[in-house]
Amino acid sequence: MSRSFDVVVIGAGPAGYIAAIRAAQHGMTAACIDEWKNKDGKNAFGGTCLNAGCIPSKALLESTELYHRAQHEFKKHGIRTGDVEMNIADMQKRRASIVRQLTGGIAGLFKANKVEGLVGHGKLLPGKKVEFTPVSGDAEIIEAKHVILAAGSAPIELGIAPFDDERIIDSWGALELDAVPERLGVVGAGVIGLELGSVWSRLGSKVTVLEALDDFLFMADRDVAKVAAAEFKKQGLDIKLGAKVTRASTDGDAVTVAYEDEDGAHSIEVDKLIVAVGRRPYTDDLFSDDAGIQLDERGFVVVDEECRTRVKGVYAIGDCVRGPMLAHKGSEEGVMVADLIAGEFAEVNYDVIPSVIYTAPEIAWTGKTEEEVRDSGRAYKTGSFPFMASGRAKAMEQTSGMVKVISSQDDDEILGVHIVGPMAGELIAEAVVALEFSASTEDLQRTIHAHPSLAEAVHEAALAVDKKALNFPNK
């Protein structure tokens, strides 16, 4: 007799594993199928985020930022260290150990919540049946009352620069390099390009980033993008905008990258080339042709606001559906879907999903950019506060950047908060709560912030919206 569950989830990334756990918390029987295999040949839960994305990249960003600060900042604090050395093998050992602890943690969470974690391939068939093919052994058909597709995404490969996993690599390859490339090329000045470009630049690589668009960080507020561009330039990241890569070819030990910009055709030679031009939904062999699942023209599983596919009882969440490809977006969709299946009210507020780029300074925002508010025709006001005027930032020796608040002119509602500066990724949480509660600027202005703290910069930026900033001249 075939096994059956109330909920079967395909994919144990941050969307899928969270959905399975929440379903089990509701008292439903749940299974979560995942086939992820790491470069050491071992299977692990956690998907891209834990194995090859959010977590390993942040581990390397932390290690290399400390290294950079030891070299460039410690002296100012009076700390004399002599020569500071980075041992790449130790750095990578730490990264791998953090990944192992967290992915192992998911297996523990499954056990604690009585989720059946199944290692192997899952494929949706008609009638909410799932074909499960374990890593070794025969395929079985599992029956489900509800199925959640959470298959994630994969790097986009460029035909003109195909991955060879040796010199032309994707973000996963770039996280696991065992030596610092002298010359590193990056195609794409997006989130991955900037984070991984920063990692290897801090370790001594000469990094050239080729970005096809003329605008730097097109998705961010222009004021924030301007400050960030200046900071990256100071750090030595050579970001070439309007640079269209036409070909990359490996020649012995080097990669020759040809590109065109408004000045004509150019080429550079690098030792490694990271191609980070976005990710595509991954739905390879995820469902049979007759399962009733529809893909849009870009390959995303078509879902409604509540992540329902066209097949009753089948949902899809995370990177394989529309919306930003962010771990926390996928997890919240997982919670929403499990709650809906349990008969509860649930929703995801897609308007206030925070975005964070973990460079130094960090970049974080939520809500609308000034350009989006202007285009909407809504009358608005803005205020900003530089970290240069923050006592805490000065004490931390991290004064680059600012906080900008955008509010509605009519009813004072906060519409967007944009931060470039120290711990921006932590500071943005306050703004997300404010937007979630439809807070007014005055609400933030009257909220007491600890002194001295970086959060005071958010407070002062809110005050500046009404020209009431206290620790910086109002414009």
Contact residues for ligand NAD, defined by CB under 6 A: 158, 187-193, 195, 210-213, 244-245, 276-279, 324-326, 356-358
| Burial (Cβ within 10 Å: 0-12, 13-18, ≥19) of residue 221 | buried
Nearer to ligand NAD, 337 or 356 (CB): 356
454 binds, among ligand NAD, ligand FAD, none (CB under 5 to 8 A by kind): none
Q: Are 385 and 464 in contact (CB under 8 A)?
A: yes
Q: Using only C-alpha atoms, what is the Rg of the chain?
A: 24
Nearer to ligand FAD, 386 or 422 (CB): 422
Q: What is the DSSP string of 265-305?
A: EEEEEESEEEE-S-EEE--TTSB-GGG---B-TTSPBP--T
Q: Are 151 and 15 in contact (CB under 8 A)?
A: no
Nearer to ligand FAD, 134 or 452 (CB): 134
16 binds, among ligand NAD, ligand FAD, none (CB under 5 to 8 A by kind): ligand FAD
User: Which of these, 363, 365, 333, lies nearest to 352 by C-alpha position?
Assistant: 365
Q: How far is the CB of 397 from ligand FAD (least distance, A)?
A: 24
User: 3-class DSSP state for residue 227?
Assistant: helix
Backbone angles phi, psi at 108, to 5 degrees: -65, -40
Nearer to ligand FAD, 306 or 375 (CB): 306
* Residue that is written with structure tokens 């032309």 in the block: 168
Backbone angles phi, psi at 51, to 5 degrees: -90, -35
189 binds, among ligand FAD, ligand NAD, none (CB under 5 to 8 A by kind): ligand NAD
* Residue that is written with structure tokens 């079985």 in the block: 140
Q: Are 412 and 217 in contact (CB under 8 A)?
A: no
23 binds, among ligand FAD, ligand NAD, none (CB under 5 to 8 A by kind): none
431 binds, among ligand NAD, ligand FAD, none (CB under 5 to 8 A by kind): none
Q: How far is the CB of 423 from ligand FAD (least distance, A)?
A: 15
360 binds, among ligand NAD, ligand FAD, none (CB under 5 to 8 A by kind): none
Q: Are 318 and 299 in contact (CB under 8 A)?
A: no
Q: How far is the CB of 272 from ligand FAD (least distance, A)?
A: 15
Nearer to ligand NAD, 362 or 413 (CB): 362
Nearer to ligand NAD, 33 or 424 (CB): 424
| Burial (Cβ within 10 Å: 0-12, 13-18, ≥19) of residue 145 | middle
Q: How far is the CB of 31 from ligand FAD (least distance, A)?
A: 11
Distance between CA atoms of residues 334 and 317, nearest Å: 6
Q: How far is the CB of 349 from ligand NAD (least distance, A)?
A: 18
Q: Which residue is at the shortest CB distance from ligand NAD?
A: 190
Q: How far is the CB of 467 from ligand FAD (least distance, A)?
A: 35
Which pair of structure tokens corresponds to residue 136? 């070794």
Q: How far is the CB of 155 from ligand NAD (least distance, A)?
A: 7
Q: How far is the CB of 23 from ligand NAD (least distance, A)?
A: 26
Nearer to ligand NAD, 205 or 445 (CB): 205
- Strand 402-408 relative to strand 414-421, pairing: antiparallel
Three-state SS string across 92-152, please?
Answer: HHHHHHHHHHHHHHHHHHHHHHCEEEEEEEEEEEHHHEEEEEECCCCCEEEEEEEEEECCC
> Other C-beta atoms within 10 Å of 257: how many?
25
213 binds, among ligand FAD, ligand NAD, none (CB under 5 to 8 A by kind): ligand NAD
Give the residue numbers annotated as catalytic, written as ranges: 451
| 408 beta partners | 380
Nearer to ligand NAD, 44 or 277 (CB): 277
Positions touching ligand FAD (CB under 6 A) are 10-16, 33-36, 47-49, 53-54, 57, 121-123, 150-153, 171, 192, 282, 286, 318-319, 325-328, 330, 358
190 binds, among ligand NAD, ligand FAD, none (CB under 5 to 8 A by kind): ligand NAD
